[in-house]
Amino acid sequence: MFKKVVLFGLLSCLSFSVFAQKEKPKTESWYEKTAEMYYENGKYLKALPYLLKYQSFKPTDNDAKFQIGVCYLKTGRASKAQEYFDFLLSQKNVDKEVYYLMAQTLHLSNNFENAILYYKKYLAELDEDDPKRYFVKDDIKRCATGLKIMYKDKLGLVENLGDKINTAYDDFSPVFAPNYDNIIYFLLFVMEIWAECSMQLAKKIRLKANIAAIFLFLV
């Protein structure tokens, strides 16, 4: 009987020890490595919270700020991305990639004139034989087209539905609403992230949503 009690006590201590280990606080290094794992694999939405947590440990780490800015840009939050790129541009030594990322951010925000300025700054940093120059020049042409279009008569109105329906991904491919002739919805359909996108959209739609939104989800 005594042996059973001792054995039970030892097992209890072992269980408590294992539980205590599981509850061990996450370290700065753990957040950094986890963020890096997601970031390097292009999982920007998943990397972001770990990067932000790591940044709370290391607020002066500009590499983390760079990655946070990229995560915000890649998940469609240009205004947040711009905050981080503005800070990086104010530093003494500026990575040339920040010029390009700021240009993309401004381009996404329809700030075409300033986007062109940063695209040109990035071009000035590239070697003459760098293949990226072709794509950057193409981006500049698109911004120039955007500037022209801004002053033309509007053929339609594009309204962003916001967080009530949008996912954190790029939503595209127009779908006409079945019960409204003048409404078009946009849908993300990239197979590798479709499941996660669908779950986000399903949570937002619920039962009270417009039938067009449900149609969008089912297409």
Closest CA to 173 of 160, 186, 155: 186
The token duo for 200 is 């986000």
The rounded distance, in Å, linking the Cα atoms of 184 and 193 is 22
* DSSP calls for 32-78: HHHHHHHHHTT-HHHHHHHHHHHHHH-TT-HHHHHHHHHHHHHTT-H
pLDDT at position 189 is 43
Mention every residue, 6+ apart, whose C-beta is less than 8 A from residue 115. 103, 104, 106, 107, 139, 143
Q: Give the chain's domains with CATH numbers.
A: 28-150 (1.25.40.10), 162-218 (no CATH)
How would you write the pLDDT of the chain (219 residues) with one tens digit per residue?
Answer: 544 544 445 555 555 455 555 567 788 889 999 999 999 999 999 999 999 999 999 999 999 999 999 999 998 899 999 999 999 999 988 999 999 999 999 999 999 999 999 999 999 999 999 999 999 999 999 999 999 988 877 776 666 666 666 666 666 666 666 777 666 665 544 444 444 455 555 555 443 344 344 344 443
